[in-house]
Amino acid sequence: MNKYVHGYSDYEANRLHDQADSLADLLHYDSVWEKGSVILEAGCGIGAQTKIIAPKNKNSKFISIDISSESLDQARNIADSNSIDNVAFQQDDIFELPFGDEYFDHIFLSFVLEHIPNPMQALSKLKRVLKTKGTGDANIGRKLYPLLNQSSFKEIKVSPRQVYVDDSNPKWVEGFTKNTFTAMIKGVSKEAVSKNIISKKEFDKGIKDLNRTAEGGGTFCYTFFKGIGTK
Ligand SMILES: C[S@@+](CC[C@H](N)C(=O)[O-])C[C@H]1O[C@@H](n2cnc3c(N)ncnc32)[C@H](O)[C@@H]1O
């Protein structure tokens, strides 16, 4: 794949945990599969979502894969420290999955497709290892319905999950507005400026405006999209 835009720094690891923790209820209140399922988590990264979804599905087994061995080491540590024992982590590429056809009951992936140059090809690779009638689950915003549709998934349901933050919810001001969203934008500053996508002055103004949304009287609103489709 192309270089992963957010990189693998401690800064990005903390951001992924803040993102997963602050969005846990919003995104995962319904991430529950039937007992005994075998679930592929594709692009698990440092296990920020794994540590939320695995305990919710204690009677199912996860195989959580990522292309980065460093991220997987962190994911294993997180799983150990949360006494999670229903996940096997392994290094694999979504485009070269070493599993037989129809191996998994369900496939889960979050914040992955938007980083892949050809998300439709990724979906078709994932679909091969998904059981007929199994479900695939991804976040890639407004393109999710057409992508799942063109990949011939059935019973597609896309639901917007809106995060609205103001002073009445200081935990989200910290965990989401500052440490997830603004941190994500700050993290790509050097690359965006060096590639002349935006001037430093304009970028810094954007960060200042974003910081303002987390100060007294500021508000912040963002919409995630969760999509589910059946094979
Ligand atoms: C933004 S992170 C999201 C991690 C995790 N799902 C989360 O929500 O915290 C994207 C992850 O996708 C992984 N990734 C990107 N391309 C991949 C590929 N072809 N195969 C497996 N993993 C991939 C990256 O290594 C990275 O860990």
pLDDT in tens, 137-195: 877 888 999 999 999 999 999 999 999 999 999 999 999 999 999 999 999 999 999 99
Region of residue 152 (phi > 0: left; psi between -120 and 50: alpha; otherwise: beta): left
What is the rounded CA–CA span in Å between residue 7 and residue 14? 12
CB 109 within 8 A of CB 137: yes
| Cα 201 to middle of ligand 1, angstroms | 31
**165 alpha carbon to ligand 1 midpoint, in Å?**
27
**78: Cα separation from own chain's centroid:** 16
Distance from Cα 42 to the centre of ligand 1, integer Å: 7
Percent of the chain with pLDDT over 70: 97
Q: Are 72 and 90 in contact (CB under 8 A)?
A: yes
Nearest CA to ligand 1 atom 3: 111
Going by CA atoms, what residue is nearest to atom 13 of ligand 1?
43
Distance CA 65, CA 3 (A): 18
| Mean pLDDT value across residues 117-143 | 91
- HSE-CB at 128 with a 13 A cutoff on CA atoms is 13
Q: Indicate whether 70 pLDDT > 80.
A: yes
Q: Which residues contact 97 (CB under 8 A, 6 or more apart)?
A: 65, 125, 126, 128, 129
In ligand 1, the atom with minimum distance to the C-alpha of 17 is 9
Give me the pLDDT at residue 1, please.
Answer: 43
Mean pLDDT of the chain: 94
d(CA 28, CA 49): 9
Task: Please report the pLDDT score of residue 80 as a whole number.
Answer: 97
- Confidence class for position 78, pLDDT limits 50, 70, 90: very high
Confidence tier at 5 by pLDDT (50, 70, 90): low
Instruction: Assess contact for 15 and 188: CB atoms under 8 A.
Output: no
Spacing, Cα 185 to ligand 1 middle (Å): 18
Residues with CB under 6 A from ligand 1: 1, 4, 6, 16, 20, 43-45, 48-49, 65-68, 71, 93-95, 110-112, 115-116
